[in-house]
Amino acid sequence: MKTKTNKKKIPALIGRLLALLGENPKREGLKETPRRVAKMYEELLKGYQADPKSIFKCFDSDEFSGMVIISGIDFYSLCEHHLMPFYGKIHIGYVPDGKILGLSKFARLVEIFARRLQLQERLTKQIAETLQKNLNSKGIIVYCQARHFCMSMRGVKKGRSQMKTLVKTGIFNTDKNLLEQFFRQINLPNKVK
């Protein structure tokens, strides 16, 4: 999925927003802000330009048939409801069926989907579905824990609360031991549901 951005028009729009918020966009501290914010959005939303399929250069699993876990992948994203950051960790597990994927590719995949306007639920689902589609496996599990600035800074300030989302496919839906093993390995023994 690609989106067209109109980079040239964004700084003027941010300047207008600052004025509408009651600020003076011409004052010293704000002079460069519209340009900086435009540049920042470009960087934070660059995931639209990347094709998730491009990372799938898989290797033979050499008959390895256990579970592979990639835990604690840091991510930063923007919630599409408020354009505020949400950030946290993503843990991925899979049981290979002939193919494996290099470690760095998982972080790259997370990055591609996180650098878009997102919902945590959709982010978790997109990562799981893309792995399910492009990596031969007996099952995929993706577990995401995140804090949302739109929740911490607004309304009832539940600053410490986290949101957790889980998507699993294949063998993770049927093999309870495997599921428990996954949560033990990522050091979250009580999170099994």
Q: Which positions lie near Zn ion, rule CB under 5 A? A: 79, 81-82, 150
Are 131 and 109 in contact, with CB atoms under 8 Å apart?
A: yes
Beta carbon nearer to Zn ion, 77 or 137:
77
Nearest approach, Cβ of 157 to Zn ion (angstroms)? 14
Question: How many CB atoms within 10 Å of residue 160?
Answer: 7
Please state, in angstroms and rounded to a whole number, the distance separating the CA atoms of residues 79 and 170.
29
Are 18 and 34 in contact, with CB atoms under 8 Å apart?
A: yes
Beta carbon nearer to Zn ion, 27 or 81:
81
Nearest approach, Cβ of 185 to Zn ion (angstroms)? 31
Nearest approach, Cβ of 150 to Zn ion (angstroms)? 3
Closest chain position to Zn ion (CB): 150
Q: Render the burial of 122-143: b for 16+ CB within 10 Å, e for the rest.
A: ebbbbbbebbbebbebbbbbbb
Nearest approach, Cβ of 161 to Zn ion (angstroms)? 13
Beta carbon nearer to Zn ion, 82 or 147:
82
**Residues whose CB is less than 8 angstroms from the CB of residue 31 and which lie 6 or more positions away in sequence, other chains included:** 25
Beta carbon nearer to Zn ion, 107 or 163:
163
